[in-house]
Amino acid sequence: MKKNILLLTFSFISFGTFAQGRLGKGHMQLNAGLGTSGWGTPVYVGLDYGLHEDITLGGELSYRSKSENFGNSKFKSSVVGIGVNGNYHFNRVLEISKKWDFYAGLGLNYYVWNYENDAYKTNDASDIGLGAQIGGRYFFNDKLGINLELGGGNATSGGKIGITYKF
């Protein structure tokens, strides 16, 4: 009976070890990819820093543009987004494999919108957005993975897909 209890205890400890979050305290990861939007296809690059084994703080830059013709006029718009985000990573709590990383959090974003057509050009349309996101990553090895995120309140509102590189 003592052997079974010892074996069971060791199994839980081992499983908990593998359930660590993908980004430990003091480590960083680079994210880059494409987003979804009704106004062009956004591209983004971001950096996350591990504050705690379950909490990250990150920054992100994004850009999207779109051109359309309305009759004889051409319309162009572009958006540059700069944001910060904080995420809670559920790996340890959910005791999931170290190949996966599931997270959710909030972000604060600043946008600069530029509009242009044959009659006028403006770049004074700026805005601040508060957003939320939920996402996941799958790591092929200790450094490289893919990511998928759904959310809103940023220049890539709707969703993002890309790669993650941990260093």
Give residue 50's identity as a one-letter amino acid code: G
**Coil, helix or strand at residue 34:** strand
Q: What is the mean pLDDT of residues 54-68?
A: 94
User: Quick one: pLDDT at residue 22?
Assistant: 59
Gap between the Cα atoms of 57 and 87, Å rounded: 7
Gap between the Cα atoms of 48 and 98, Å rounded: 18
What would the two tokens of residue 3 be?
Answer: 């052997």
- Containing structural domain, residue 111: 2-166
Q: What is the mean pLDDT of residues 145-165?
A: 86
Tally of structural domains, the chain:
1
pTM as predicted: 0.79
CB 107 within 8 A of CB 59: no
SS (H, E, C) 76-126: EEEEEEEEEEEEEECHHHHCCCCCEEEEEEEEEEEEEEEEECCCCEEEEEE
Burial class (CB in 10 A: 0-12, 13-18, 19+), 4: exposed
**Coil, helix or strand at residue 15:** helix
Which helix (H) or strand (E) element contains residue 146? strand 144-152
The pLDDT confidence band at residue 155, using thresholds 50, 70 and 90, is: low
Distances (CA, A) of 136 to 68, 95, 160: 34, 15, 11
Gap between the Cα atoms of 50 and 146, Å rounded: 18
Residue scoring higher pLDDT (63 or 15): 63
Q: What is the domain-level CATH number for residue 9?
A: 2.40.160.20
User: Quick one: pLDDT at residue 125?
Assistant: 72
- Does 126 score more than 80 pLDDT? yes
Give residue 164's identity as a one-letter amino acid code: T
User: Quick one: pLDDT at residue 13?
Assistant: 37
- Does 2 score more than 70 pLDDT? no
Q: Give per-residue pLDDT as tens, 7-49.
A: 333 333 333 333 334 588 999 999 999 998 777 889 999 999 9
User: Quick one: pLDDT at residue 1?
Assistant: 43
Through-space distance between the first and last CA atoms of the chain, rounded to whole angstroms: 45
User: Quick one: pLDDT at residue 18?
Assistant: 39
